[in-house]
Amino acid sequence: MKKIILFIFLFTLLFTFSCKKKSDTPDKNQDKEPINDSNTNQDKEPQNDPVTELDIQLSKDYYVIGETLEFSSSTTTIDKINISFETPNILRLLDNGSYRVQRSGNYPITFTCSELNLTKTIDVNFYKNNFEIDTTSDYILKDDVCEIRIYSFDSIYEDKIEDFVLSIDKPSLASIDGYNIIGKDFGDVTVTLTSKLNPVVKSSHVIKICNPETDFMIKPHNGEKELCVGETLAIDFTLDYDITDFKWQTSNKEVIRFTKYDTALEITGIGVGTTYISCYLKNNPSIKASYYLKVNGFKDVDYIDKLIKLAYGEVGTWEGKDEYGNYNNVQKYGEWYNNNGEPWCATFVSWCWYHAGLSNDLLVKYQGCTAGMQWAHEHGIFHDIKGDYYEKEDYNPKSGDIVIFLSDGGSHTGIVGYSDDTYIYTIEGNRSNRVDIWRIPKNQSKITGYISPKYPEVETRIDQSWLKNEMKDGKYLWTDVTTGLSTL
């Protein structure tokens, strides 16, 4: 009996111990999350694709000289990027590691990260930080208006004057009206244009408000700032100077021409564009002045009439004499041509052509008659009525033609003022040592031919028959030349 009780006790004890041990052993799957493929790499580092391009972002679309080239990169830090460029002196490396713009233009800039072995090249625009201010005049009177302009937009980012703010340093001397300066009192005023897009971009210019009793200045007689091609403007100046005491210049010879500069100054528009006219006193260049003009459009000008009237105005001009009283071929036309002392008939024609505002594309500036004839033949505007040099032509001369005389090694030329059925009426220089009007038979053997320039078209040509007509006193303007060239 005791043995049975002991057996039951041991069995109970063993069973209890076994259950406790089993309960203390954790289940391998206890508290385990269900398997989910999306979470298997939750705590691992992301595996990115290799970087193949260097990202560079410039801080601005453009830079001006003096500014710092600023950029950023999402690829790496800026200190790991080097800059290089082929054209020298575009950028300057500063002590702080930044780059300053030194040269205007469009240049390729290369950014390199050696650590990643990556490179990127970008074309970057660099512009100037200053420019030239243009004015209609640097010298104005009280109550006069001076227009402010910009000389050129080529080197700056801004493309119109409205991109700038105009300011002055002395409001007591001048006022601002748009982009105009109006003189209020005598003195120097500094005007400044500052870019609205970038305040670093600015330029200044000095304008003088003049006292006409003490300061020298020039301006058009009628106050106009613009003229047309073919139109003539008279220029006035202050102070009591002789106009011949000055050297006169233009910044663009294709736009205007000085067509009178002896007793008065006149300019003529010869091409569309803008230009300065300027002058300085020959014996004192510090006395100087300038004025800005614009030539636009074409005036309906009868250049034949202009040429003939100009040549007629020279009638009565004689060449000089030497110490013995002999004529010496010295006259103003030769001085202009820089061949004074030489035969001057062709020089006179060239002088008249130039000062009428006519283009050298229509008639060459010539000194030798043969050279002028050859040029005209090459350009298809010479008519050889005798056939001595080129193919003979039947040609009836007209006003504005240039007549050529060639005979026995001698030569002569002049301007045809008018032509009728029997005669040509010419204005010539160096016939009988002077400028005069001559009537010559059209069949005279000394006439070789005519140059017929292609004058600009005009709606109505002015009749030039006044050259041949009898005057009120019963006389004529012309002198008759019936045979040969005896009056040369």
pLDDT tens-place string over residues 213-251: 999 988 888 877 789 999 999 999 889 899 999 999 999
Q: What amino acid occupies position 340?
A: N
Token pair 């300027």 is found at 278
Residue 334: the pLDDT is 95
397, containing H or E segment: none
Tell me how far apart the alpha carbons of residues 300 and 179 are, in angstroms, rounded to a whole number. 32
With a pLDDT cut of 70, the percent of the chain lying above it is 88
**Strand, coil or helix: 23:** helix
Domains annotated for the chain, with CATH where assigned, are 57-127 (2.60.40.1080), 133-210 (2.60.40.1080), 218-299 (2.60.40.3440), 306-480 (3.90.1720)
Of 239, 428, 164, which Cα lies nearest the Cα of 317? 428
Q: What mean pLDDT value characterizes the chain?
A: 88
Structure tokens at 473: 């006193």
Q: How confident is the model at residue 32 (pLDDT cuts 50, 70, 90)?
A: very low
Quote the DSSP letter at residue 43. Answer: T
pLDDT at 49 > cutoff 80? no
Q: What share of the chain is helix, strand, coil (3-state, %, to 5)?
A: 15, 35, 50
pLDDT tens-place string over residues 112-131: 999 999 999 999 999 999 99
